[in-house]
Amino acid sequence: MANLELARQAMDRVRARLLAPAPDSIGDCLEDLDIALDALRALVRSLEARRATEAERAAVAKDVALLVEEAKQASALLKQAADYYAEWFEAWKSGRASYAPGGDGGESGPTPGGALSVEG
């Protein structure tokens, strides 16, 4: 069940990054989502290859379903974050947005709900 643990660890990293979003965390989250989903696919292939019993499949089915649902929710949040940054960038290009450095000195760029202004 190493693949299940790998998927759990990757989703833990995704959750942690989503709690403190930053522009560079979007790519990291996508990589971790990919790792989690690859691990789940490998788990299913492994169960099929060794012709797992119904009980063995049932033992991991709940965990797999929860991780897949979590991945779907994380994906939706990442899309919202990506849309936010795309909208801000378009506003910035047209001179309607500016970045005011926040607690991190402004090095990581604007963050949703952070020190950012978009003018009417």
pLDDT at 23: 61
What does the CA dihedral 68, 74, 75, 78 come to, rounded to 10 degrees?
Answer: -170
The confidence band for 109, taking pLDDT boundaries of 50, 70 and 90, is low
Q: Does this model's pTM top 0.85?
A: no
Start-to-end C-alpha separation, the chain: 53
Backbone angles phi, psi at 2, to 5 degrees: -60, -35
- Dump pLDDT digits (tens) for 11-53: 888 888 877 766 667 788 888 888 998 998 998 888 888 898 8
Domain residue limits at 14: 2-95
What is the distance between the alpha carbons of residues 75 and 65, in angstroms, rounded to a whole number? 15
Residue 106 lies in a domain: no
Largest CA distance in the chain: 61
Residue 35 lies in a domain: yes
At residue 105, does pLDDT exceed 50? no
Q: Which residue has the higher pLDDT, 99 or 19?
A: 19
How many domains is the chain partitioned into structurally? 1
Residue 25 lies in a domain: yes
- Dump pLDDT digits (tens) for 58-98: 888 888 888 888 888 888 888 887 788 788 888 888 887 76
- The count of other CB atoms within 10 Å of the CB of residue 118 is 13
Residue 77 lies in a domain: yes
